[in-house]
Structure 1
Amino acid sequence: MSDYPDLQLYIGGAWRKTAQDMPVINPATEAEIGRLPVAGQGDLEDALSAAQEGFRIWRATPPRARADVMLRAAALLRERQEEIALSITAEHGKPLPQARLEVIRGCEFFEWDAGEAVRTYGRVIPSARGVSYVVHHEPVGVVLGLSPWNFPMSQPCRKIAGALASGCSIILKAAEETPAGAMHIVRAFHYAGLPAGVLNLVFGVPAQISDFLIRQEPVRLVAFTGSTAVGRHLTTLASEHMTPVLMELGGHAPVIVCEDTEVEKAAVSCAIRKYRNAGQVCTSPTRFFVHESIFEPFAQAFVKRAKATIVGDGMDAGVEMGPLANERRVPALTALVEDAVAKGADLLAGGARLGSSGYFFEPTVLANVPADARVMQEEPFGPLAVINPVADLDAAIAQANGVPYGLAAYGFTNRADYIERMTHEVEAGNISFNTLEASLPETPFGGVKSSGYGREGGTEGLENYMNVKNISHSIEIV
Structure 2
Amino acid sequence: MYPTINFYINGEFTSGNATKHQSIINPATLENLGQLPIATTRDLDHALQSAQAAFESWRHSSPMERSKILRKVAQLCRDRAEEIGRHITLDQGKPLAESVGEVKSCADHADWHAEECRRIYGRVIPPRDPRVRQIVVKEPIGVCAAFTPWNFPFNQAIRKISAAIGAGCTIIIKGPEDSPSAVMAIARIFHEAGLPQGVLNVVWGVPAEISDYLIRSPIVRKVSFTGSVPVGKQLAALAGAHMKPITMELGGHSPVLVFPDVDIARVAKQLAYFKIRNAGQVCISPTRFYIHDAIYDEFKKTFIDILANINIGDGLDPETDMGPLAHERRLATMDQFVQNALKHGGKIELGGKRLDKTGYFYAPTVISELDDQAQLMTEEPFGPIAPLTRFHDTEEVLRRANALPYGLAAYAFTNHLQTAHQVSNALQAGMVSINHFGVALPETPFGGIKDSGIGSEGGIETFDGYVVTKFITQR
TM bucket (normalised to shorter chain) is over 0.9
SS in structure 1 at match of 2:22: strand
User: Given that residues 24 and 35 in structure 2 are in contact (C-alpha distance below 8 angstroms), is that contact kept between their aligned partners in structure 1?
Assistant: yes
- The one-letter amino acid of 1:112's match is W
Shift of 1:141: 0.4
Instruction: Tell me how far 1:386 sits from its aligned partner.
Output: 1.1
Q: Which residue number in structure 1 is paired with residue 67 of structure 2?
A: 67
Match of 1:16 in 2: 14
| Paired residue secondary structure (1:74) | helix
Is residue 277 of structure 1 aligned with residue 278 of structure 2? yes
Q: Tell me which residue corresponds to 1:153.
A: 154
User: In structure 1, the residue corresponding to 2:328 is in which secondary structure?
Assistant: coil
Distance 1:237 1:267 in 2: 43
In structure 1, the partner of 2:291 is: 290
Bigger shift: residues 355-364 or 425-434: 355-364
Which amino acid in 2 is paired with 1:318? E
1:432 counterpart residue number: 433
Letter in 1 for 2:43: D
Give the alignment's TM-score, normalised by structure 2. Answer: 0.98
Contact conserved, 1:58 with 1:198, CA < 8 A, in 2?
yes
Q: 1:391 maps to what in 2?
A: 392
Check the 8 A contact 1:107/1:157 in 2, yes or no: no
Q: Does structure 1 residue 358 correspond to structure 2 residue 359?
A: yes
Residue 94 of structure 1 corresponds to 94
Letter in 2 for 1:266: V
> 1:197-346 to 2 correspondence within 5 Å?
197-346=198-347
Once structures 1 and 2 are overlaid, which stretch shifts more, 13-22 or 45-54?
A: 13-22
Counterpart selection for 1:5 from 3, 6, 28: 3
Aligned to 1:27: 27
Dislocated runs of 4+, deviation >6 Å: none
Cα separation, 2, equivalents of 1:31 and 1:115 = 41
* 1:189-211 CA-partner distances (Å, limit 9, x unpaired): 11111000000000000000000
Q: Deviations over 1:247-287 (max 9, x none)?
A: 00001000011111111111111001000000000000111
Please say which of residues 411-420 and 202-211 is displaced more in the overlay.
411-420
> What is the rounded CA distance, in whole Å, between the counterparts of 1:372 and 1:75 in structure 2?
48
Distance in structure 2 (CA, Å) of the matches to 1:470 and 1:16: 42
Given that residues 345 and 369 in structure 1 are in contact (C-alpha distance below 8 angstroms), is that contact kept between their aligned partners in structure 2? yes
1:149-187 Cα distance to aligned partner (Å, 9 max, x none): 001111101110110110000001000001000000000
Deviation at residue 439 of structure 1 after TM alignment: 1.9
How many corresponding residue pairs?
Answer: 472
Q: Aligned-pair distance for 1:144?
A: 0.3
Is the CA contact (8 Å cut-off) linking 2:71 and 2:114 kept in structure 1? yes
**In the TM superposition, what whole-angstrom CA distance separates every residue of 1:198-233 from its partner, at most 9, and x where no partner exists?**
000000000000000100111111000000000000
Partner of 1:41: 41
Q: Tell me how far 1:105 sits from its aligned partner.
A: 1.5
Match of 2:123 in 1: 123
Encode CA deviations 1:329-370: one digit per residue, 9 max, x unaligned.
000011101110122011111110012410000001111211
Cα pair 1:139 1:466 within 8 Å, conserved: yes
CA distance, structure 2, for counterparts of residue 438 and residue 78 of structure 1: 21
Instruction: Measure, in 1, the Cα distance between the counterparts of 2:356 and 2:79.
Output: 36
Task: Output the CA distance in 2 between the equivalents of 1:166 and 1:410.
Answer: 32
Letter of the structure 2 residue corresponding to residue 5 of structure 1? P
- SS of equivalent to 1:239: helix
Letter in structure 2 aligned against 1:7? I
- Where 1:42 maps in the other structure, the secondary structure is helix
Q: Which amino acid aligns with 1:419?
A: A
What letter corresponds to residue 290 of structure 1 in structure 2?
Answer: I
1:57 aligned to 2:57?
yes
CA contact (8 A) 2:424 2:434 kept: no
Question: What runs of 5+ residues in structure 2 fail to find an aligned partner?
Answer: none
Cα distance in 1 for partners of 2:110, 2:327 equals 28
Distance in 1 between the 2:424 and 2:128 partners?
A: 41
**After superposition, where does 1:400-411 map in structure 2 within 5 Å?**
400-411=401-412
Cα offset for 1:77? Answer: 2.0
Partner of 1:172: 173
The alignment's C-alpha RMSD in Å is 0.8
Quick one: which amino acid aligns to residue 89 of structure 2? T
Q: Summarize deviations over 1:273-304 as a string: whole Å, max 9, x none.
A: 00000000000011111110011111111111
**1:468 and 2:469 aligned:** yes
CA contact (8 A) 1:22 1:36 kept: yes
> SS of 1:341's equivalent?
helix
Q: How far did residue 421 of structure 1 move? A: 1.1
Answer whether contact 1:270 1:436 (CA < 8 A) is retained: no
Tell me if the contact between 2:124 and 2:134 (Cα under 8 Å) persists in the aligned partners. Answer: yes
Say which SS state the counterpart of residue 459 (structure 2) adopts. coil
Q: How many angstroms apart in 2 are the aligned matches of 1:86 and 1:47? A: 29
Cα-to-partner distance string for 1:91-137 (whole Å, 9 max, x where unaligned): 00100011110011121111101111100010111122222321100
Q: Which residue of 1 aligns with 2:460?
A: 459
